[in-house]
Structure 1
Amino acid sequence: MRIKELLTPINTFLHCATPQSWIDEAIKPENIATLLVDHANCELKAAQTAMFLLRRYAVDKDSAEALLLWLKPFEDFVYRKEGEGDFSSHSNLSKKLMSKSNFKHGDELISKMVLLIKEELHHFQQVLAIMQSRNIPYDNITASRYAKEMMRHVRTHEPAKLSDTLICGAYIEARSCERFAKLAPYLDEELKGFYISLLRSEARHFMDYLSLAQTISANDIVSRVTFFGEKEAALISTEDQQFRFHSGAVATMGSESA
């Protein structure tokens, strides 16, 4: 599939394009390190979010423990600075996940989210390898307000809570895909090729989240999709004080990492 065809549903879904001011900031040489570190953080966070959904809604106790063990080396490396960043022995889940008997969508959620976790962890390792090849340290940096503000609007009762959370996931994945495509032409050949290589999986993640949201919802989700689309566009269009992968428009931003 051509990139234009791949991006058409993404661009239709999103309510606004990434502002040029953000792109101009992102491609500054002094901001590439922050871009990569925050990109790595986003990949890990995406895996953690999918794991949380599985543990909360879809799998039994033993399977939940297996998921925690799967992510532990990655979390130890990022948050506790343990290990050398070699995850070759932790690339795959150690056991087959068992669905809860009282959640009828468990098998579908497991199928889609396990694949997503595998791909996000693989992307995390790819970003880390690029950082290491460029001697970019994995510094601790604060997250942008983007995901937290999106999740603030999630309803608190089920199944609306799960459906809203999945819609938020669809927007986060769609925005990531759009930004990879926007950035690629401005980057060096290694980063350009890498970001283009991510487009197909990110586009599929967006569709998986969206289809799961509709499957699980008791009602049509069009109004909720529109609601979150407006919230997401506002976050992307308004100014942020720090540059991050999902930060908003730029007036005058520094590249500070804390």
Structure 2
Amino acid sequence: MPLSELKQFLGCSTPKAWVEKALQQQDTLLIDHAHCEKKAASTAMQLMFRHPTRADLLTKMSRLAKEELIHFEQVCRIMRERGIVYDHLDACRYVGGLRQLVRTHEPAKLMDTLIVGAFVEARSCERFEALIPHLDESLAKFYSSLLKSEARHYQDYLSLAKDVAMETGATGLEDYHQRIALVRDLEVQLISAEDPMFRFHSGLPTKVALLDTNKDVTYEQ
């Protein structure tokens, strides 16, 4: 899948200031990346346990969980090679913020959860691409290798969400598109607004955001 399609799905690009912050805090970037891969595998497994009768979901989420755990192992190996200790990190507001939009009744809950998953995977892929030109050769090669699988994960989540929507016909598809628009709007806010915490999915670094408000600096989105 061309990354241009994925970028169109997202409502904005990663701010340049976030990329600059990531390059300054590569240890934190890698530790949080490892946490993200582990959480992604856990989310896929939870969906499998909650929806055991959905054959396509089981197949796609099983493959996704395996790949995410392999990525987790790969990130941990890179960290060991660089003398970075894998440790606990508090989660940023991103995923928790998106999940606040998930409804509590089925099948709407499943569809919303899958749509949120699509945005998380799409943003991960977009950020890998944004970082690659600025990283050392080894890390750039690794992140380049992740682009294809992360893009497929985005597609898998979105296709599963659409399948759920189609179970209720035209009204379900209308709801599907409305929910994507709703999640996209919030995702843009979380990515573009100032954020005091730096993480793989965090927003605009606070210092830069405050300076920009005072018109002292500008940044690109």
* Pair 1:149 & 2:97 matched: yes
CA-CA distance at 1:250 after TM superposition:
1.5
Pairing partner for 1:7 from 3, 10, 15:
3
1:18 alignment counterpart? 14
Q: Distance in 1 between matches of 2:22 and 2:160?
A: 32
- 1:6·1:200 contact (CA, 8 Å) conserved in 2? no
Q: Distance in 2 between matches of 1:247 and 1:158?
A: 30
Q: Distance in 1 between matches of 2:87 and 2:62?
A: 28
* Pair 1:243 & 2:191 matched: no
1:209 alignment counterpart? 157
CA-CA distance at 1:251 after TM superposition:
3.1
Counterpart mapping for 1:73-88 below 5 A: none
Local SS of the residue matching 2:130: helix
Unaligned runs of 5+ in 2: 209-221
1:134 alignment counterpart? 82
Pairing partner for 1:44 from 17, 38, 43:
38
TM-score of the two chains, using structure 2 as the length reference: 0.89
TM-score of the two chains, using structure 1 as the length reference: 0.76
Q: Distance in 2 between matches of 1:10 and 1:112?
A: 19
Task: Give me the CA root mean square deviation.
Answer: 1.0
Counterpart mapping for 1:1-258 below 5 A: 6-28=2-24, 31-58=25-52, 103=53, 106-217=54-165, 218=168, 219-220=172-173, 221-252=176-207
Equivalent AA in structure 2 for residue 48 of structure 1: S
Equivalent AA in structure 1 for residue 18 of structure 2: W
Q: Distance in 2 between matches of 1:34 and 1:250?
A: 14
Local SS of the residue matching 1:27: helix
Unaligned runs of 5+ in 1: 59-102, 254-258
**Could you list the per-position Cα deviations for residues 120-168 of structure 1 after superposition, in whole angstroms to 9, with x for gaps in the alignment?**
0000000000000011001211111100010011111110000000000
Q: Which runs of 4+ in 1 moved over 3 A?
A: none
Q: Distance in 2 between matches of 1:234 and 1:40?
A: 24
**Could you list the per-position Cα deviations for residues 41-67 of structure 1 after superposition, in whole angstroms to 9, with x for gaps in the alignment?**
000000000001111112xxxxxxxxx
**Could you list the per-position Cα deviations for residues 60-82 of structure 1 after superposition, in whole angstroms to 9, with x for gaps in the alignment?**
xxxxxxxxxxxxxxxxxxxxxxx
Q: Distance in 2 between matches of 1:178 and 1:6?
A: 12
2:218 alignment counterpart? none
Q: Distance in 2 between matches of 1:115 and 1:150?
A: 24
Q: How much identity, in percent, do the aligned residues show?
A: 51
Q: Distance in 2 between matches of 1:251 and 1:153?
A: 25
- 1:240·1:248 contact (CA, 8 Å) conserved in 2? yes
Equivalent AA in structure 1 for residue 201 of structure 2: H
Number of residue pairs matched by the alignment: 201
**Could you list the per-position Cα deviations for residues 162-182 of structure 1 after superposition, in whole angstroms to 9, with x for gaps in the alignment?**
000000000000000000000
